[in-house]
Structure 1
Amino acid sequence: MYVPAHFAPDDDAVRELLLRHGAADLITATERGLVATVLPFVHDPVAGTLRGHLARNNEQWRLPVVGEGLVVVRGPDAYVSPSWYASKAEHGRVVPTWNYVTAHVYGAVEFHDDPAWVGRVVRELTDKHEAGRAEPWSVEDAPAGFVEGQLRAVVGVEVRISRVEAKFKLSQNRSAADVDGVVAGLTGVGDVASAAAVERARR
């Protein structure tokens, strides 16, 4: 990934993205070519892994992986209009762009066809995404027999992280007045997450 110095995040920002991201793209190279699946992951910073699960009927887990896998993790992203820049009125030399937060996570991929392993990951994912709700749902809220049937329909996946390349392109190369305009513009179109990301990037 091409990462200019002003778009390179610090380790804490990358760690936060990996801990709190939504769904990500698991991409593996196989003898049949590239295969990709969108799925949520749990990041374990101690073990240095991403863990998730995919449908048993998904052929990706049955195809031997050639080399390392790639997980593309994303944060907020948004179109940035040049009309939001203060510099548009000053000299007009502005163009549209796209702001985004992403991390490319590389590592060895292992699939787990083990109900106990998958059960642990399902509970981790559930706890992660139910945390903070007034009445969080738990796997134990569903009948045991139903849960067992659901677990038989999925297999686990684990990516042992070898390296992470991240880029937080959030108007860091613009003047303070232009950044003010971007925050106001994003807020005006209702993209609060992207506006907040731009604000965090300039601190």
Structure 2
Amino acid sequence: MYDLPYHKEQNDQVIKELIDKHPFAFLTGCDAQNKPIATQVPIFMEERDGRQLLSGHIMKNTDHHKAFLHNEHVLAVFTGNHTYVSGTWYDNPHSPSTWNYMSVHVKGTIRFLDGEALQEVLRKTSLYFEAQNQQSPTVYHNLPEAFLQKVMHAIVAFEIDVTNIDNVFKLSQDRDAKSYDNIIEKLKDQGENGRAIADEMKRRTREVFPTS
């Protein structure tokens, strides 16, 4: 991981908020031949009995399911907004361009669950994306029983015991104040991702430049 101290977020709540806001994570591990495997799946973080846990569900008998059964060590990557930053926006324009982004890497050990645990994960997932609308026909407890019986045997819930959380919030913290302000102004014209990064940088101005 890109590992410079001024690109690290120290506030655990901010890290948790990024995970909650961007749950569609990249989940990866290694199979029995030590070949990398990966899938993308909604994953949710919670704390239970003093432990940090990730939970979600996947289809059974896929390459990633088989790999995780063989090797319990996994990495989940949560990626927030990101955008190109042109070197021409710096006070000294004869500089290489870069990319600003926010990312959280969570390592842990995975185990699989069926039965009520799977039902709970599906309920939580469907409610989250239906904005907690209990009446939505696609929320787990409103789905037809015949449909649930047909598909439940093909999927499995998982929990990941978190062993390490790392992050990169690369937001031009290493630039001078004039360049920093100019990057913010330029990003406002760079679409949704650019505006989101500009807003995040704006919020951090006093933190990055406490004496200005």
- Superposition TM-score tier, normalisation by shorter sequence: 0.7 to 0.9
Task: Give yes or no for contact 2:88–2:94 (8 Å, CA) kept in 1.
Answer: no
Structure 1 CA distance for aligned equivalents of residues 104 and 177 of structure 2: 26
**Equivalent residue for 1:61?**
65
Could you say which residue in structure 1 is the equivalent of 2:86? 81
Question: In the alignment, does 2:40 pair up with 1:38?
Answer: yes
Q: Deviations over 1:158-203 (max 9, x none)?
A: 1100111111001111223322222222220212322223233434
Counterparts of 1:49 and 1:144, CA distance in 2? 29
TM-score, with length taken from structure 2 = 0.82
Asked if the contact 2:76–2:106 (Cα under 8 Å) also holds between the matched residues in 1, the reply is: yes
Q: Which runs of 5+ in 1 are unaligned?
A: none
Match of 2:28 in 1: 27
CA drift of 1:12 comes to 2.1
Q: Answer yes or no: is 1:198 the counterpart of 2:194.
A: no
> Per the alignment, do residues 45 and 93 of structure 1 end up closer, same or farther by CA in structure 2, a change over 3 Å counting?
farther
Aligned position for 2:209: none
Cα offsets for 1:59-95 (capped at 9, x unmatched):
321233436211111111111112333x0xxx43322
C-alpha distance in 1 between matches for 2:89 and 2:95 = 10
Opposite residue 127 of structure 2, the aligned amino acid is D
Would you say the 8 A contact 1:171–1:179 is kept in 2? Answer: yes
Matched AA of 1:44: E
Secondary structure, counterpart of 2:161 in structure 1? strand
Is the CA contact (8 Å cut-off) linking 1:115 and 1:152 kept in structure 2?
no
Kindly indicate whether residue 155 of structure 2 is the aligned counterpart of residue 125 of structure 1: no
Runs of at least 5 residues in structure 2 that lack an aligned partner in the other structure:
207-212
Q: Residues 20-53 of structure 1, C-alpha deviation per residue, up to 9 Å, x if partnerless?
A: 2231111112222221111110111334111011
The match for 1:161 is 162
In structure 2, relative to structure 1, the CA distance for the partners of 1:154 and 1:43 (3 Å cut) is: same
8 Å CA contact 2:23–2:44 kept in 1: the answer is no
Report which structure shows greater RCO (CA 8 Å, sep ≥6): 1
Q: 2:28·2:38 contact (CA, 8 Å) conserved in 1?
A: yes
Q: What percent of counterpart residues are identical? A: 28
Please give the alpha-carbon distance, in whole angstroms, between the structure 2 residues aligned to 1:43 and 1:175: 36
Corresponding position of 1:116 = 116
Secondary structure at 1:31's aligned position in 2? coil
Q: For 2:19 and 2:70, how far apart are their aligned partners in 1?
A: 23
